[in-house]
Amino acid sequence: MNNEEREIDLKILFANAFIKWRRIILVTIICGLLAVGYGAVKIMPSYSALQSTYEHDLETYQTNLTYSNKQISDTEAQIQKLNEYSENSIKANINPYSEAQSVVTIYITSGETTDAAKQITQAYQVLASSGMNYDSAASTLGKTAQLINEVVTAKSNSDANTVTITVIGQTTNQTETIIKSIISQVNDAENAMTVKYGRHSIIVGDPATQVVTDTTLLSSTYQTSDQMLSVNVTMNGVVNKISSLKTALKTMNSSKPVAPVSALKTTAKKLVNYLSFGLAIGFLVYITILVLMVIHRKTIISEDELKKQYGLKILTLVPRKNLCGRTRFDQALSRTVDHAYGIDDKVAFEKAAANISAYAGEMKTLLVINDNVNQDVNEIIANLKAINPEVKYEMSSDVNESAAELNKLKNADGVIIVAERNVTRFDNITRSVETVKNWGKEIIGSIVL
């Protein structure tokens, strides 16, 4: 055998290392705790500075958060207001192709100067535009006064001393209700206007109501790439504004300030990193050491190595005595490193005796060589004798030790090699095998402990 070349089953190699998993865990934990201790010594002197930084960052965060929340709240309020407007607005819900429209003209006559007449005309125009009380009409139509006010327009003609009032709506009932309210209030305001601006008289023409197409409300483009808009340009503006605000709101929510991490959490996180590093290093280093120890001890770790390196037949596998099977993990590892795990010793020796009878043939004296074995080989021989009493077994702990041991080899018909996993070294087996071959003796096989 070339001792520089050795084929090792990695599964068995690592299983032999992990057999000591309790020790691995202990070493790993100790390394982790040492790393935490080192981290604490390194980090703690800067804890006060971390706490000061945290307090400053926390104050800044709270200020920014308050501002951010206010922006979000204001934007949500705007969206809600626009949604309510889009649902309740008369103007935004008018179909431009069938708009109801009521028009009334107020004629003003005055005995005052031309400038005075123009002033009175302007006063009535202002009254119609922004001085009306629409509470009664709003109650009748189920709308707010503000929504009614936006469908009313008043235009004055200073040269003709007229004020033309136009009301638009979804239905003629809406426009007629509103125009009646306006006419009533204009008539009621005449006396007050006379006191304020001078003697004059007004004639309110008959209101005219009709359904028209309103090109000023008609949207030229009412389809975008992602949605169908209204033909009403006012509604389109509301929809686009809501969409814009929702996009802004999404951005605000995603970019809210992040709370600073407390000094305690920062320190704890760093210590956890030290712990993780210590555990990982402890685990990897110790596993590496155990694996290297298994390799460099140059002891056999499985029966397959005897078959591959020396071509020896395996007469039997005797279950290892030093394996612990208290947990399922222990048992799984034990089955990996010991293919005889769970087999009764008696069954193992009966198998050995049967194989010896088959391989030894007419041989009557067999030399059992057990170089560097911790277990009691006399017990093994006693078990074999009990099963095969017709075979004589001699024992040699080192066939190369003395002439007496060599005489045992000389007088033997065949040889059995006893090897113990993780104990018997390859060099011992090599010397014994070479000596046996030099003497021309046949090796029946090996009993692996």
Q: Where are the domains of the chain?
A: 7-89+222-296, 95-212, 300-448
Q: Which helix (H) or strand (E) holds 153?
A: strand 152-157
Give the Å distances, CA to CA, from 80 to 236, 241, 244, 246: 16, 12, 13, 11
Which CATH architecture fits 300-448? 3-Layer(aba) Sandwich (3.40)
pLDDT in tens, 9-40: 677 777 767 777 788 888 889 988 998 888 88
Q: Is the pTM of this model over 0.85?
A: no
CB 327 within 8 A of CB 296: no
Chosen CATH of 95-212 out of 3.30.70.1130, 3.40.190.290, 3.40.50.280, 1.10.260.40: 3.30.70.1130
Amino acid at position 168, single letter: I
Positions of the chain with pLDDT under 50: 1-3, 222-228
Residues in the chain, overall count = 449
| pLDDT at res. 22 | 80
CA distance 413 to 427: 24
Q: Are the folds of 95-212 and 300-448 the same?
A: no
| pLDDT at res. 221 | 54
| pLDDT at res. 323 | 57
